[in-house]
Amino acid sequence: MEFFTRKEVAEFFRVNPRTVERWLRNGKLKGYKLGEGKTAPWRIDMVEIKKFLAKNKV
């Protein structure tokens, strides 16, 4: 398993990190929040990124 930060995923898709956070909160992209609260970091698995790509035909 290879995990990426919200910022790394944003760079991959060439979008703002807030867009990635929106995808995570809306359930469009599955990620794992490490801890609780607004400032807790997200980690996104490469498998989930590939699923997101296939589903959205990016």
Task: Please identify which residue in the block is written with the tokens 């703002």.
Answer: 16
| pLDDT tens-digit series, residues 2-44 | 999 999 999 999 999 999 999 999 999 999 999 998 888 999 9
Q: How far are the Cα atoms of 23, 32, 49 from residue 19, in angstroms, in the given order? A: 6, 16, 14
Greater pLDDT, 47 or 57:
47
Number of domains composing the chain: 1
What is the structure's pLDDT at 1? 80
E strand intervals along the chain: 3-4, 32-33, 42-45
* Full residue range of the structural domain in which residue 50 is found: 3-56
Task: Please tell me the pTM assigned to this model.
Answer: 0.85
What is the structure's pLDDT at 58? 61
